[in-house]
Amino acid sequence: MPRNVFFVFVFTFISLFSVNVLASQSIIYNQFMPDNDLWKEDSLDNKSLPNVNQKMFLKIVNAALQAYAYDRPTINARWEDPIVNANCSRENNRVTINMYGGLARRPEITPEGFTLVLCHELGHAYAGKPYIRSTPGYYLSSEGQADYYSTLSCYDKIAGLVSELSKVDSTTDYITQACERFASDRVLLANCIGKLEGGLSLGNLLSKLSRQGDPNYENPDPTIVPRTLTGYPATVQCRLDTYHAGTLSLPRPKCWFKN
């Protein structure tokens, strides 16, 4: 084989290999809950008013865009889409989040719960370690870490821009007492109650899908994992425990996190 032909062959092979490697870095995304068919129950014509109407849906999404304007994430507010979920993707450090009306219209979902779902997706992008995958430009935080971040950090940022999220009319004795011990002022108290109430609304939705029974804050998951989980925790209760821990600035629960 002539020398110049050989180099052309080698260059072509290397180029093709490089393209294949880049192509393998496909967009990865993570969603709030497993795939489901709850969308079949959704209807824009439903006479019962959802807890999260279109106005509130857009208000919460726009507040998140404002709170995270420094990184310019794309948040698609897909009100008419019946999907009961939300997801986040990162490609070359560009963050894209999809929020669906089918989730917002669920009877279990409150404005506080919807905010926590959006915060969960933001958490995949901004919550840090542990990661599901840490390839540069494509990394996303684990499911448990995204839940933890949603109440530890994100909710307060959005609630500061959406006054309705700081007005919870009633709650359980446990939540009231826990938040009164934790909060040092009225804003922190309202946000604490909002986060724990929002966590309960998500626990009710997740339990409908998993059929595990409704979780509650007074009976934490006793599981101790041998290593940190990056996927969904095994129980809905573990996810509720994570919202609880983030709200009260407690360590991450041992039912998914291993020090």
Euclidean distance between CA atoms 256 and 259, whole angstroms: 10
Q: What angle do CA 128, 103, 257 make, to 5 degrees?
A: 30
What average pLDDT score do residues 142-157 get? 98
Domain for residue 254, yes or no?
A: no
Kindly state whether residue 49 falls inside one of the protein's structural domains.
yes
Q: Which pLDDT does position 107 carry in this prediction?
A: 93
Average pLDDT over residues 88-110: 94
Give the pLDDT mean for 224-232. 97
Asked if residue 99 lies in contact with residue 61, where contact means CB atoms within 8 angstroms, the answer is: yes
Mean pLDDT of 121-137: 90
Average pLDDT, the chain: 87
> Residue 64 has what pLDDT?
98
Residue type, 166: S
User: Considering only CA atoms, which of 52, 70, 48, 51 is closest in space to residue 60?
Assistant: 52
- For residue 76, the enclosing domain spans 28-247
pLDDT of 101 reads: 96
Answer whether residue 257 is part of any domain.
Answer: no
Could you tell me the pLDDT band of residue 14, with boundaries at 50, 70 and 90? Answer: very low
Stretch 224-245: mean pLDDT, rounded? 97
Q: What percent of the chain has pLDDT over 70?
A: 86
Let me know if residue 4 belongs to a domain: no
201 vs 30: which has the higher pLDDT: 201
On whether residue 73 sits in a domain, the answer given is yes
Overall domain count for the chain: 1
Per the domain annotation, does 44 fall within a domain? yes
Count Cβ neighbours within 10 Å for each residue of 103-142 and write b for 16 or more, e otherwise.
Answer: bbbbebbbbbbbbbbbbbbbbbbbbeebbbeeeeebbbbb
**70: in domain:** yes
Is residue 9 in some structural domain?
Answer: no
